[in-house]
Structure 1
Amino acid sequence: MILKVFGWSFGLTALALAGALYLGGPEVLLIVAILIVLEVSLSFDNAVINATVLVRMSPLWQKIFLTVGIAIAVFGMRLVFPLLLVGITAQLSPVEVVTLALEGGSVEQEGTYAFLLEEAYPAIAAFGGMFLLILFLEFILEEREHTWLSWLERPLAKIGKLDQLAVVIAIVLLVVAAETWASEFAETVLVSGLLGAVVYIAVNGLGQL
């Protein structure tokens, strides 16, 4: 049963590990293995939150979420999105960005893909962070039938009845973060974070159609 469901996943994972060993040796193999474990563990965590979102969707949007949405999450956000951000921030064409990514190079060497990706980190972190923060806040502020920590979950559910409270809290935290810890990149963090919030609201709105 396990192989029937996860056979392709196991096979692709084995190919990825073999490719890492072939291209980078034991050191790269270890890094890739750690990333795989991290990704799987985070995916379990995300699945719980995603399930609460899926419940509110119509059957049509549930299918779209589980097909197109997963494809966008896996390939779009992890592969295409970083390349796109580097291209935009460094004003490079898609071909140039892909070429740089394949060439590799040190993060400390100016002009390499790693260096440019590090430069784009504030925008990436703010955009993705806001999206996930609002998702998390909506999860903990949602009223649910069964609770584990009733003394905490019930008051949060009552507070959560305020419309768009999760978005308000997230934006306040974004402003605080931009003006304190990320003051050097305040404008970038604010713009990217607000875009992340807008995307979440749009996606959430589409899911309720």
Structure 2
Amino acid sequence: MAAFRVFGVSLLVTALALVAGYAHGGLNALFLLVALAVLEVSLSFDNAIINAAVLQRLSRFWRQMFLTVGILIAVFGMRLVFPLLLVWATAGVEPVRAFELALNPPPHGALEFPDGSPSYEKLVVAAHPQIAAFGGIFLLMLFLDFVVQDREIKWLKWIEIPFARIGRLGQVSVAVAAVALVLAGTMLTHSTEERATVLTAGLLGLVTYLVVNGLSRAFQPLDVEATGGPGLALAAGKAGLTLFLYLEVLDAAFSFDGVTGAFAITSDPIVIALGLGLVGSMFVRSITIYLVQQDALDRYVYLEHGAHWAIGALSVIMLLSIEPHFEIPEVFTASVGVVFIGAALAWSVLRNRRIAKGA
């Protein structure tokens, strides 16, 4: 019953999105919409777990904001407006004109119109190196900051313990991410102009992470347990707003691979917004809320570790994809996350059984 309450809205939204998709483009659009929704959910299990770790620190008000305003940002911001702004920034095509190009693609799936002008899909794909550099470095920083912390509970001890020791040096994450960016920018690009855009985008990803993560720490609520209060204070006010923005930036970074990968399925912005944004994002948010309500991260202590290792793998894949000829199927990318999280869940269950037997 609890699961139905959490996923009920997502199921209703899915039904409405399917109706809208059929009205927009018939059975073909309906099939593409379902394929995109499955793609988004399969790619975002790690996103849901990381979101849950942040969301359990938020007050009830900001949790509701994440489910309402947050979903609007995910659907219309990242899945509809962001590609249009990207085309505007990289190709100089105004958003309105880009939207017209998206709604009226060249015949027979061509990447160019008969007059030689590029299609919307070609313009977005051409901007992939910048997207991959920004998102890859942002997610790499998220992974590195997790593994260099000396945590009481460790999953892959043979590698997490050495990482934690190295982390004592300070700013290790920034140094490793900067080296990774330089290597990607110099070895995976083929022109001075492309190298400059990749390095600039990656630097912006690094700065964005440092700023957002720094603000979230600055406004982190105090541990009222130390003063005799009950547990951790939930973030509200400025702290809640900062963590909410942090969640939205995380969602944006996670959505980059889905948005660009969606063009392997369709370039129709309406279908992408409905499939990736509305259906996919709603289910990811429902999974996040369910994890929080079930205290899943406390019961299965290695889940967060598995999600971060999946993020590390995803960041490497995104950086490697800067090279145009380096293509990894979406099935493989999604499988990496499923394998890490599935293994972490299995290890958590075994740990709980050992503890129960010992007790």
Normalised by the length of structure 2, the TM-score is: 0.51
Partner of 2:50: 49
Distance in 2 (alpha carbons) for counterparts of 1:160 and 1:50: 24
Aligned residues: 206
Query: Residues 181 and 202 of structure 2 are in contact (CA less than 8 Å); yes or no, is this contact kept in structure 1?
Result: yes
In structure 2, the residue matched to 1:83 is 84
Q: Comparing 76-85 with 190-199, which one deviates more in the overlay?
A: 76-85
The DSSP-based 3-state class of the residue aligned with 1:208 is helix
Moved more, 178-187 or 21-30: 21-30
Mapped partners of 2:166, 2:53: distance in 1: 18
Closer/same/farther in 2, CA of residues 78 and 162 from structure 1, 3 Å limit: farther
**Match for 2:40: what amino acid?**
E
Give me the whole-angstrom Cα distance separating, in 1, the residues matched to 2:129 and 2:35.
Answer: 24
Amino acid at match of 1:125: A
| CA contact 1:141–1:157 (8 Å) conserved in 2 | yes
Task: Determine the C-alpha separation between the residues in 1 that align with 2:78 and 2:84.
Answer: 10
Partner Cα distance (1:161, 1:52) in 2: 24
Partner of residue 196, structure 1? 205
**Structure 1 residues 153-172: aligned runs within 5 Å:** 153-172=160-179
Bigger mean CA deviation after superposition, 123-132 or 68-77? 68-77
Distance 1:21 1:5, change over 3 A: same
Alignment partner, residue 108 of structure 1:
111
Relative contact order: is structure 1 or structure 2 higher (C-alpha 8 Å, sep ≥ 6)?
2
Counterpart of 1:108, as a letter, is: L
Deviates more, 1:125-134 or 1:99-108: 99-108
Of residues 188, 195, 202 in structure 2, which corresponds to 1:181?
Answer: 188
Is 1:119 matched with 2:126?
Answer: yes
Shift of 1:115: 1.4
Structure 1 partner of 2:37: 36
Distance 1:71 1:64, change over 3 A: farther
One-letter amino acid of the structure 2 residue matched with residue 168 of structure 1: A
* More deviation, 65-74/90-99: 65-74
In the TM superposition, what is the alpha-carbon distance from 1:146 to its structure 2 partner?
Answer: 1.4
Structure 1 unmatched runs, 5+? none
Partner of 2:5: 4
How big is the shift at 1:200? 1.0
Distance in 1 separating the partners of 2:168 and 2:82? 34
Shift of 1:153: 1.4
Where does structure 2 lack aligned partners over 5 or more consecutive residues? Answer: 219-359
- Contact 2:55/2:63 (<8 A) preserved: no
RMSD: 2.8
- Given residue 118 of structure 1, which amino acid in structure 2 is its aligned partner? V
Moved more, 21-30 or 105-114: 21-30
Q: CA deviation at 1:195?
A: 0.8
Residues 123 and 97 of structure 1: is their aligned pair in 2 closer, same or farther, counting only changes over 3 Å? Answer: same
Paired residue type of 1:124: I
Among the aligned pairs, what percent are the same residue? 50
1:129 to 129, 136, 141: 136
Residues 107 and 115 in structure 1, CA contact (< 8 A), matched pair in contact too:
no
Supply the distance in 1 between the matched residues of 2:76 and 2:166 (Cα, whole angstroms).
Answer: 36
SS of aligned partner of 2:48: helix
Q: Secondary structure at the match of 1:182?
A: coil
State whether structure 2 residue 200 is matched by structure 1 residue 207.
no
CA shift, 1:27, in A, is: 4.9
Kept in 1, the 8 Å contact 2:148–2:164? The answer is yes
1:63 paired to 2:62: yes
Judge which range, 170-179 or 1-10, deviates more.
1-10
Which one has the largest radius of gyration? Answer: 2
How far apart, CA to CA, are the structure 2 residues paired with 1:191 and 1:76?
22
Give the secondary-structure state (helix, strand or coil) at the position aligned to 2:44.
helix
Distance 1:71 1:154 in 2: 41
